[in-house]
Amino acid sequence: MTAPDDSPRRPAGLDDTTVEALGKFSEALETVERIRGHLYSLHQLTGKADFALDDAAELFRRAGHDKLAERIERELIGRNVLAGRWTFQVVEEYDDGYYTEFRNLEKDARDELAGGRRHLYEAELKEQRRTAGRPGHESRP
């Protein structure tokens, strides 16, 4: 398919199934990006909860509940969320392993098959679905 400005978006000879496969791969990467964001939310929210425990323990102690305050301090504050790991370690392991490998392989597929072009499937879908000549339906900015 040719883009409206007459520059080819899809490299010559690239078949529909490959464009669709690249689109699915890109969609999967977008999901992984969302997962990564949720991991950072887990990281930040866990830290916030851990610091809130300081306040809770202090308030319990002021209210005369020393045993409960001590349990919170001993059993929860600073506790690993997974065996041997705080959340920053979970995020780093995810980033350095699965996430990096996923991003690299998706980029390699685009480079090898589509000359590095991103979102071929979506670009062609846009051309199919927009109303040419209608305001708000322009093909390019």
Residue 8's pLDDT band (cuts 50, 70, 90): low
Residue 57 confidence (pLDDT) above 50: yes
For residue 31, pLDDT beyond 90: yes
Average pLDDT, the chain: 93
- Does the pLDDT at position 1 exceed 90? no
- The pTM (predicted TM-score) of the whole model is 0.82
Question: Is residue 19 classed as helix, strand or coil in its secondary structure?
Answer: helix
How far is it, in rounded angstroms, from Cα 98 to Cα 103? 9
Q: How does DSSP assign 43-102, residue by residue?
A: HHHHHHHHHHHHHHHHHHHHTT-HHHHHHIIIIITT--SBTTB-HHHHHHHHIIIIIHHH
What is the predicted pLDDT for the residue at 139?
A: 87
Tens of pLDDT, residues 109-131: 999 999 999 999 998 999 999 99
Residue 140 pLDDT: 86
